[in-house]
Amino acid sequence: MARYTIGDFVSQTAQKDRGEGLFELENDRMLEVNLNGMVWAKLGSMVAYRGAVRFEREGMLDHGLGTLLKKAVTGEGAHLMRAAGNGKLYLADEGKRISILNLQNQSIYVNGNDLLAFEPSLKYDIKLMRRVSTMMAGGLFNIRLEGTGMAAITTYYDPVTLMVTPDSPVSTDPNATVAWSGSLYPELKTDITFKTLLGRGSGETFQMEFRGSGFVVVQPYEEVYFQVAQGQSH
């Protein structure tokens, strides 16, 4: 039983410096931020830090008046905090798997619930899907990140990326959709049939339809973060 000693446990789980830059995966469920300045992070995602780091909740006008107005309309839940200082910061979100994206003058849309952290060099904006206000209470929102810098997103379990081409569109369940390329903007479509109303349908009443050229990231899990206007969970 020598292999179960406290020393072995500490050795196997100890934090390791990999020299990968600002964002490093300490493991696939925890993000290490080598902080020397400031990053945006999901509110409440801090699990530990070392050094001189201070936290401040996102201000009302931190991302501009347009973003403030969109937040007021959507009631969205992607509340952010500013982490600033010098040290090592460890972030996680309910044990979800973390992926790091290094944008090079690119853009990507991320579900508002799945954005863990990003550099301030990336432009941030809230986007509402068209037709949402008439179908869903509170709406379905996503975050557009654009520019050059690093971002970290989260998924339940391992994500799968599906390629979208002009002759091969992709439809997804909104609750399982995590991110998609900035070249795409999905339409929300409905599939309400008589059987659905009787409770005999597949349950996939709403879908996101992606057309054009790009990619969409899905996860093998349905997050429930909005409600149908009648008050029923999807």
Over the stretch 15-69, which tens digit does the pLDDT of each residue have?
A: 777 766 899 999 999 999 999 999 999 999 999 999 999 999 876 555 554 444 4
CATH of domain 19-228: 3.60.160.10
d(CA 136, CA 206): 10
State yes or no: pLDDT of 118 exceeds 90.
Answer: yes
pTM: 0.81
**Which pLDDT value is given to residue 139?**
46
Query: How far from 36 is each of 54, 59, 74, 160, CA to CA, in Å?
Result: 12, 21, 33, 33
CA atoms within 13 A on the CB side of 181: 18
